[in-house]
Structure 1
Amino acid sequence: MIEYIKETGNLCGIKNKLSCHTARHTFATTVTLSDGVPIETVADMLYHKNLKQTQHYANF
């Protein structure tokens, strides 16, 4: 998985170090929360045990 993330980053010209954590964070913030997906749904998708973990991504 990480190799695909790094390869995609290289193809896009991204210079930052990419990781699975970066991918999860980007998914949670850019793909879901910023598009209006309810925070409870995002928490379920990320397998968070409580909303506090997800609120970190939402900058609450």
Structure 2
Amino acid sequence: MRTLREIRNKISDLEKEKSELNAEIEALREKAETKADSLEQEVAELRKEAESLKELLETY
């Protein structure tokens, strides 16, 4: 059986790890959102380019 001090230390260690993991997750989510936004812009540009090329080919 663990002592009260060991239990407190374990809880403290786990709370610290939880806090660190939450911070890491938040940073990763922000990076993912930035990447998704960037890809969304690229896809929009590619769609416009594809549409322009289709129109060009239909003209000639």
TM-score (norm 1): 0.28
TM-score (norm 2): 0.28
Whose helix fraction is larger, Structure 1's or Structure 2's? 2
